[in-house]
Amino acid sequence: MGGAELPLTNTARSRSTHPRPLLLALCAVVATATFLAYNAYLSSITANATKRVQHVPLKAQRILAQCAALQAVPGPPENFLARDTSDRFEPGTRPTLIRNATLWTGARNGTEIVYGDVYMDRGIVKGIGYIPQALYAGVGDVEVIDAGRAWVTPGLVDLHSHVGVFSAPFLRGAQDVNSGHGPVLPWLRSIDGFNTHDDALELAIAGGVTSVQVLPGSANAIGGQAFIFKLRKTSDRSPTSMIVEPPHTLNGSEPDSSRPLRWRHMKQACGENLRRYGNRMDSMWSFRSAYNEARKIKYAQDTFCAKAEAGLWDQLEGEDFPESLQWEALVDVLRGRVKIANHCYEEVDLDDIVRLTNEFQFPIASFHHASEAWLVPDVLKKTWGGTPAIAIFATNHRYKRESYRGSEFAPRVLADNGIPVVMKSDHPVLNSRYLAYEAQQAHYYGLPPHLALLSVTAMPASTAGMSHRIGILREGADADVVLWDTHPLQLGATPRKVWIDGILQVGADQEAIVIGKGKEDREFQETPRVPNWDKERRNAVKWEGLPPLTPAKENGRVVFHNVGELWVRDDSDELGIREVFNTLDGELVDVVVDGGKISCVGKHCMGGINANSVIDLRGGSISPSLMTFGSPIGIEEIAGEVSTGDGATYDPFKVEVPQVLGDPGGLVMAADALQFGTRNAHIAHRAGVTYATSSLSKTTLFAGPSSIFAGLSVTFRTGAAHALERGAIIKHITALHVVIGRAAPYSTTPWASVSTQIATLRNLLLNGQPTSTETGKWFKKAAQGAIPLVIEVGSADIMATLINLKNNIEQARGSFMKMVFAGAAEAHLLADDIANANIGIILQPIRPFPNNWDNHRILAGPPVTNETSLTVLTDAGVRVAVGVLEAWQAGNTGFDVQWAALETNGRIDRKQAHALVSTNLEKLLDVDGWIGDDGDLVAYEGGSAFDFSSKVVAVASPGRGVVELL
Ligand SMILES: *[C@@H]1O[C@H](CO)[C@@H](O)[C@H](O)[C@H]1NC(C)=O
Ligand SMILES: *[C@@H]1O[C@H](CO)[C@@H](O)[C@H](O)[C@H]1NC(C)=O
Ligand SMILES: *[C@@H]1O[C@H](CO)[C@@H](O)[C@H](O)[C@H]1NC(C)=O
Ligand SMILES: *[C@@H]1O[C@H](CO)[C@@H](O)[C@H](O)[C@H]1NC(C)=O
């Protein structure tokens, strides 16, 4: 393996005592030696050893070749980078020259930046930097792209994806990710379930992702073999042709000793996902008994080969080479030829697997999810064969008990300990399309920029044994290249063009799709400035992932120095937000806050006097706080732990509502289920999201919504200590919520038909239950327009039905309903009708994914489409707001709207973007009057709510007379 290599200590190669060329030469000699030569060789040694003539069997040569092959170590041929044509080259592909680019190559540990050109031909990068014309002069028909100095990187590599085996849209027939046939299944192969029609393939490429490791699921201790796929559609359309360097075992169990061995890949998992097969002790025994099987076979092979190689054929008479098709993959693990991706979260689990690797002596390539890896660097370093890479999410934590101590600071802590960091999607858990966002957030929270870029390119590639050809830009590597609109670590960075194997996948017609408009400022081409998190990071480690998050409170005077911008809530403004001042690089001013209220703004406030606290915002801003909507934030602590939430409500469509409740609809109030001080609420609060509206709707990615009747929502303050604290509850009953849609494909409980749901809604709104019941009372109020009716709905067809229903009810009752569609992935198809019907839209989530059938007609946005749902609906005149689905996402609300605004190519300004998660949301939910001009304000240091460089440092609460210092 020539050229630069990333630091990786977990390869079998680094342990090998033989230099590779010598070893290969040895294998070749042994494999091609003739029968006669062996005969002579054997007679000479056996004469002394056994004093009798051995009967050399006819198959001796084959056996000796097989034995010699056991010594082979996987890896590319020595001269790999000198190849002329890629094995993946598609004839007819034009050579391409990208001129005048800023190239982040991934070399020199990610620190190399080259200003110049990239030349691609025959599926390979043929030149980087200065490209002499001679290189392409004779070739003819070269496609020339002028990059205008824009950033170019290698295609991104997602080390953890279930694309193809968990396909979008989710349908029962297209889910081949987990086998339920036992805890140990090393003989299964993810390729056998790979669906080439997954909608996510094209979307991931649109995010610059060119290669992924397709892993079986994590429901088994040993879940099966994984494969490295390139995402482009190949000319023969088969999954097989998408695999990068298919291991020789893929199409025959005989190793082919004439070619260098290729890496194999395997999925393992530990911890709570294996509950169906027992507890942690059971799963560790299933590992040990499986590896013991493999070890016995390996030992038998080695003994057999030692005899064969010593010429003791008589002792082998009647014996075959010991092997087992079922266990051969695990034997290869023990021979160090398999890159294991091990799902493993907690200290106990990581320790268990590290112990296992030492007992059976095999390496682990990467630990995945690994929420507590950052807390046990020394344990990781004891892994047999070297320290694994750690493949994690940036901010997706606390969704299950095992991930409760996950931290946004983990990438930096791991890197500080010299541990390779990989950011991954676990697609479709996170959309692989946004893999770059994981790196961007890791950078925001402290991972140095070169490591952040490596974490989605060369690091995952080398972890998978593929860095000789993917995840890196160098001569001889695969022509997988991304041309970005901004620096790739800028929030919302979007590929203008993506090539895989030199074939253009994205951006064929530069005129057709507008990308990067509004990002002309030179700053977008630079590495984003990010806040300093040293204090928070140290605290997180000290408290083992659970640092106290309650802010200090200040009732007296607080002075904010060097304020660059001040926005306040103002009812008289059309958007409800007024800019008080914006220095636009002019003189910064002071803002004095007394008892939570702004008392003076300007250069000459006498604020320094009697200030209890002085905060330097370094040109930052103060603006109205944000609201989160749509997740069970405040209703549950850990999504996967039912005992930390409200529990299941009695949905009348599913179960009999208990008589004693006295209400046929089982309609209940979220306010009664509120919990304060949950970590997700605290984290949202610290990110400037100080208000939340939660209903009892709970939608999980795989099981879908939990109920059709989702109760009456409550609006509360995320930073409050308990319900009785002043200002904790903004509005006890905010809106009436229902979920209307087709059954989620993997839901295990029966689901009423869409027609039944609509008929019920019609009945309740038109005739109604007696108003003596909760159901009767609140549906009547909704029909009269006295309370918003929020309908979670994705399908445009169902929305059309609901628009008709609304018209009928309004005509019959002479009312105006306040109807809101939440979710609304397909709302863009009906934008004008939604506007005419005066229905508000909460895009939830803002970046759509075609998960369920009801959501499958998404508007993907640049670089796939010009428009996004946001631009189409806003242009039609619909009031639009933005929500999230899961409670951990509430803390990323600011990122979501910054990014949404960037995606509109400058068509939505910062004030409009802010309104999406503040005043628009408040108006749609009818809580604007309840928050009022006295609503919370958030102080950002080093930028505004719309800068990736800023950090929330304080929340001023005029209504409560307090400033919270974070
Ligand atoms: C890359 O980083 C590793 C580990 O920090 C270091 O040992 C190595 O020298 C670095 N290589 C280069 C080319 O900077
Ligand atoms: C490279 O692109 C920049 C920005 O468009 C331009 O100013 C410069 O002249 C270009 N350089 C070359 C050599 O084409
Ligand atoms: C097996 O796979 C290798 C590698 O892709 C390929 O070269 C070979 O032709 C395949 N053999 C068969 C029989 O399909
Ligand atoms: C995208 O927008 C641009 C500029 O407005 C326009 O020229 C182009 O035709 C649009 N493309 C599509 C596919 O609508």
- pLDDT, tens digit (0-9, with 9 covering 90-100), for 692-710: 999 999 888 888 888 999 9
Same domain, 397 and 486: yes
Pairing of strands 338-344, 366-369: parallel
| Torsion angle of the four alpha carbons 615, 619, 624, 625, in this order, in degrees rounded to the nearest 10 | -60
Residue 36: pLDDT above 60? no
pLDDT for 130 equals: 94
Residue of minimum CA distance from atom 8 in ligand 4: 512
Residue of minimum CA distance from atom 7 in ligand 1 = 7
The pTM score is 0.93
> Residues 955, 963: contact at Cβ < 8 Å?
yes
What total of structural domains would you count in the chain?
3
CB 400 within 8 A of CB 641: yes
- We report the CATH number of the domain holding residue 608 as 2.30.40.10
CA 120 to centroid of ligand 2, rounded, Å: 20
Per-residue pLDDT, averaged over 30-53, amounts to: 43
Q: Which ligand is nearest to the CA of 243?
A: 3
Helix, strand, or coil (residue 619): strand
- In this prediction, residue 26 has a pLDDT band, given cuts at 50, 70 and 90, of very low
Q: Give mean pLDDT, residues 51-69.
A: 86
Q: What are phi and psi of 143, to 5 degrees?
A: -80, 125
**Cα separation of 629 and 887, whole Å?**
9
pLDDT of residue 17: 36
Lowest-pLDDT choice from 538-542, 607-611, 626-630, 669-673: 607-611
Nearest residue (CA) to ligand 1, atom 8: 7
Whether residues 518 and 651 fall in one domain: no
Q: Average pLDDT in the 122-143 region? A: 92
Dihedral sign for Cα 535, 538, 542, 545, please.
positive
- Tell me the best of 228, 240, 251 to mutate to test the pocket of ligand 3, counting ligand atoms within 8 Å of each CB and taking the most: 251
Which residues does 548 contact at the CB level (< 8 Å), separation at least 6? Answer: none
∠ CA 622-623-624, nearest 5°, is 140
209 phi, psi to nearest 5 deg = -85, 125
d(CA 646, CA 715): 16
Give the pairing of strands 880-882 and 840-843.
parallel
Considering the domain architecture, whether residues 500 and 601 belong to the same structural domain is answered as no
Q: Which pLDDT score is estimated for 585?
A: 63
Residue 74 lies in a domain: no
Evaluate the CA torsion angle 481, 145, 492, 897 in order and state its sign. negative
Residue 251's pLDDT is 80
Phi, psi values for residue 272, rounded to 5°: -70, -20
Three-state secondary-structure class, residue 264: strand
pLDDT on residue 829: 98
Residue 840 in domain: yes
Q: Which residues on adjacent β-strands are paired with residue 699?
A: 705
Contact 290, 420 (CB under 8 A): no
Cα 501 to averaged position of ligand 3 atoms, centre (Å): 19
Q: Tell whether the model's pLDDT for residue 552 goes beyond 90.
A: yes
Q: What distances in angstroms separate CA 531 from CA 71, 528, 751, one per listed residue? A: 51, 10, 47
Residues 586 and 518 grouped into a single domain: no
Domain that holds residue 582: 550-625+935-966
Ligand 1 atom having least distance to the Cα of 4: 13
Given a cut of 90, whether residue 225 has pLDDT beyond it is yes
**Ligand approaching nearest to the C-alpha of 146:** 2
Residue (of 520, 524, 530, 470) closest to 493 by Cα position: 524
Beta strands in 3-52 (DSSP E): none
Cα 291 to chain centroid distance, Å, stands at 32
User: Which residues are CB-contacts of 773 (< 8 A; sequence separation ≥ 6)?
Assistant: 662, 663, 664, 665
| pLDDT on residue 703 | 82
Least confident among 133-142, 368-377, 661-670, 798-807:
133-142
Mean pLDDT computed over 117-127: 97
**What is the C-alpha to C-alpha distance for residues 898 and 907, in angstroms, rounded to an integer?**
13
- Which position has the higher pLDDT, 959 or 205? 205
Compute the distance from residue 893 Cα to the ligand 4 centre, in Å: 29
What is the separation of C-alpha 233 from the centre of its chain, rounded to a whole number of angstroms? 23
- Give 252 Cα–ligand 3 centroid separation in angstroms: 8
Q: What is the pLDDT of residues 521-533, one digit of tens each?
A: 999 999 999 999 9
Is 896 within a domain?
yes
Q: 561 and 506: one domain?
A: no
Residue minimizing CA distance to atom 11 of ligand 4: 512
- In terms of domains, do 903 and 952 share one? no
* Separation of alpha carbons 176 and 192, rounded Å: 9
Q: How far is the CA of 66 from the centre of ligand 3 (A)?
A: 19
Task: Report the distance separating Cα 841 and Cα 838, nearest Å.
Answer: 10
pLDDT (average), residues 275-286: 97
CATH of the domain at 707: 3.20.20.140
Q: Whose CA is nearest to atom 13 of ligand 3?
A: 251
Rounded Cα–Cα distance for residues 343 and 347 (Å): 13
Q: Which range has the worst mean pLDDT, 34-43, 351-360, 648-657, 933-942?
A: 34-43
* Residue 608 pLDDT grade (very low, low, confident, very high; cuts 50, 70, 90): low
Burial string for 649-676 (b: 16+ CB within 10 Å, else e) reads bbbbbbeebeeeeebbbbbbbbbebbbb
Q: Is the CB of 811 under 6 A from ligand 3?
A: no
- CA–centroid distance, 933 to ligand 2, in Å, is 49
Ligand 2 geometric centre to CA of 482 (Å): 19
d(CA 865, CA 513): 6
pLDDT confidence tier of residue 769, bands split at 50, 70 and 90 = confident
In whole angstroms, give the CA distance from residue 3 to residue 131.
Answer: 19
Q: What is residue 767's predicted lDDT score, i.e. its pLDDT?
A: 82
Is the confidence at residue 344, as pLDDT, over 80?
A: yes
**Which H or E element spans position 629?**
strand 626-629
Task: Please state, rounded to an integer, the average pLDDT across all residues of the chain.
Answer: 92
Q: Which of 718, 674, 711 is nearest to 692 (CA)?
A: 718
Q: How far is the CA of 109 from the centre of ligand 1 (A)?
A: 6
Phi-psi region of 232 (alpha: psi -120 to 50; beta: other; left: phi over 0): beta
CB atoms within 10 A of CB 911: 19
Residue 46's pLDDT band (boundaries 50, 70, 90)?
very low
DSSP 708: S
The atom number, within ligand 4, closest to the CA of 866 reads 1
pLDDT over 90 for what percent of the chain? 85
Q: What is the CA radius of gyration of the chain?
A: 31
Q: What is the pLDDT of residue 253?
A: 55
**CA proximity to 313, closest of 36, 63, 66, 68:** 63
Ligand 3: does its nearest atom lie under 6 Å from the Cβ of 236? no
Report the length, in residues, of the chain: 966
More confident residue, 679 or 772: 679
According to the model, what pLDDT value does residue 748 have? 77
Name the residue with higher pLDDT: 89 or 20: 89
Structure tokens at 262: 């290729």
Report pLDDT digits (tens) over 366-418. 999 999 999 999 999 999 999 999 999 999 999 999 999 999 999 999 999 99
Confidence of residue 33 (pLDDT cuts 50, 70, 90): very low
Joined tokens for residue 261:
């061995």
Question: For the chain, what percent of residues have pLDDT higher than 70?
Answer: 94
At which residue do the structure tokens 């482009």 appear? 232
Reported confidence tier of residue 587, pLDDT bands at 50, 70, 90: confident
Confidence of residue 11 (pLDDT cuts 50, 70, 90): very low
Judged by its nearest atom, the ligand closest to the C-alpha of residue 102 is: 2
Q: How confident is the model at residue 261 (pLDDT cuts 50, 70, 90)?
A: very high
Distance separating the N- and C-terminal Cα atoms of the chain: 50
pLDDT at 137: 87
Ligand 2 atom, smallest distance to 149 CA: 2
Both 664 and 589 in one domain: the answer is no
CB proximity list for 68: less than 8 A, separation 6 or greater: 26, 27, 30, 31, 257
Closest CA to 852 of 67, 182, 199: 199
What integer pLDDT is reported at residue 495 of this predicted model? 98
Ligand with the closest atom to the CA of 147: 2
CA–centroid distance, residue 233 to ligand 3 (Å): 19
Name which residue sits closest to atom 14 of ligand 2, judged by CA: 100
pLDDT interval class at 900 (50, 70, 90): very high
Is 140 inside a domain boundary?
A: no
Asked whether residue 15 carries a pLDDT value surpassing 60, the answer given is no
Amino acid at 57: P
Which residue ranges have their beta carbon within 6 Å of ligand 4? 511-514, 866
Ligand 1 centroid–CA 5 distance in Å is 9
Mean pLDDT over 330-340 rounds to 98
Q: From ligand 2's centre to the CA of 149, what distance in Å?
A: 6
Q: Is 10 helix (H, G, I), strand (E, B) or coil?
A: coil
HEC readout, 885-935:
CCHHHHHHHHHHHHHHHHHCCCCCCHHHHHHHCCHHHHHHCCCHHHHCCCC
β-bridge partners, 144: 97
- pLDDT at residue 52, as a whole number: 65
* pLDDT value for 256: 65
Distance from the alpha carbon of residue 510 to the mean position of ligand 2, in angstroms: 18
Average pLDDT over residues 29-43: 36
pLDDT of 255 > 90? The answer is no
pLDDT tops 70 at residue 51: no
In a domain? residue 141? no
Is residue 665 included in any domain, yes or no? yes
C-beta 417 within 6 A of ligand 1: no
Q: Ligand 1: which of 5, 9, 109 to mutate, judged by most atoms within 8 Å of the beta carbon?
A: 109
Residue minimizing CA distance to atom 8 of ligand 2:
148
Q: Are 708 and 757 in contact (CB under 8 A)?
A: yes
Give the model's confidence band at 41: pLDDT under 50 very low, under 70 low, under 90 confident, else very high: very low
pLDDT, residue 259, reads 79
Please state, in angstroms and rounded to a whole number, the distance separating the CA atoms of residues 127 and 401: 49
Query: Is the domain of 616 the same as that of 640?
Result: no
pLDDT value at residue 257: 67
Q: Is the pLDDT of residue 476 over 60?
A: yes
Span 484-517, pLDDT tens digits: 999 999 999 999 999 999 999 999 988 899 999 9
* The pLDDT value given to residue 596: 95
CA geometry: angle at 130 spanning 128 and 136, to 5°?
Answer: 80
Ligand closest to Cα of 863 equals: 4
Is it the case that residue 734 has pLDDT exceeding 90? yes
What pLDDT, on a 0 to 100 scale, did the predictor assign at position 38? 37
- What's the 512 CA to ligand 4 centre distance in angstroms? 5
Pair 570, 679 in one domain? no
Q: Are residues 469 and 564 in the same domain?
A: no
Residue 268 domain flag: yes
Cβ neighbors of 741 (< 8 A, separation 6 or more) are 704, 705, 754, 757, 792, 793, 794, 795, 798, 852, 854
> Is 169 within 8 Å of 702 (Cβ atoms)?
no
**What pLDDT does residue 39 have?**
39
**Ligand 1 atom with minimal separation from the 111 CA:** 14
Q: Is 86 helix (H, G, I), strand (E, B) or coil?
A: coil
Residue 914 token pair: 């802010």
* Whether 647 and 617 share a structural domain: no
Q: How far is the CA of 146 from the centre of ligand 3 (A)?
A: 39
Q: What angle do CA 324, 328, 329 make, to 5 degrees?
A: 155
Q: Is 241 in the pocket of ligand 3 (CB under 6 A)?
A: no
Whether 121 maps to a domain, the answer reads no
Nearest-atom index, ligand 1, CA of 109: 1
Q: For residue 872, give the ligand nearest its CA.
A: 4
**Residue 456 contacts residue 410 (beta carbons within 8 Å):** no
CA distance 28 to 121: 32
| Same domain as 590, residue 497 | no
Per-residue model confidence (pLDDT) at position 332: 97
* Rounded Cα gap, residues 455 and 146, in angstroms: 28
